[in-house]
Amino acid sequence: MKRIRIKLSKKEEKQLKELILGNRDRKVHQRFLCIRLLNEGKTNSAVAELLGVSLETIKNWLVIYDGNGLDGLVGMYENMRKSSLNTYSEKIQSYLNDNIITTIWEVVDYVNNELSVPVKYHAVRNFIKKNLILSRRNQCRYRLKRQKERYNKIS
């Protein structure tokens, strides 16, 4: 793979700065910041460490930037496959609100058994994390359970 170097003009630097300040999406902000840091002369590995991502991620962003510019970094994931759980979003949300949930496994069992959708733990966890808000009661109970688990591991 050829090495992609970033050299922005003053106008492009100004545009990038405005995009960084005006963008509220954390992931897009991170990609723009990557381009800015690389333009300032930082190495790929230094930028990866600063942003808390892998070196491979930086390389992927560079390839996208090289092909599509800053616009490519904004809409990177728009064409990705949507979760099969999206159609059951309301049912899952009402289940979370109506029941006291202490683990993600309880939701996995509900989706597998009650909704008859074969799904794995990580898919449910990611879906809840991205799309749903747990009720305050469940947030507290889930947080307390996680804290107890961590404490028991330490003890």
Segment 36-63, tens digit of pLDDT: 888 888 888 888 888 888 888 888 888 8
Separation of alpha carbons 42 and 35, rounded Å = 10
Across 27-41, 73-87, 121-135, 138-152, the highest mean pLDDT is recorded for 27-41
* Contact yes or no for 36/30 (Cβ under 8 A): no
Tell me the pLDDT band of 90, cut-offs 50, 70 and 90. Answer: confident
* Contact yes or no for 56/64 (Cβ under 8 A): no
* Confidence check: pLDDT of 110 > 90: yes
* Confidence check: pLDDT of 6 > 90: no
* Confidence check: pLDDT of 138 > 70: no
Question: Against a cut of 0.85, is the pTM above it?
Answer: no
* Contact yes or no for 72/91 (Cβ under 8 A): no
Q: CA end-to-end span of the chain, whole Å?
A: 49
Higher per-residue pLDDT: 26 or 1? 26
Separation of alpha carbons 146 and 103, rounded Å = 9
Mean pLDDT of 131-140: 56
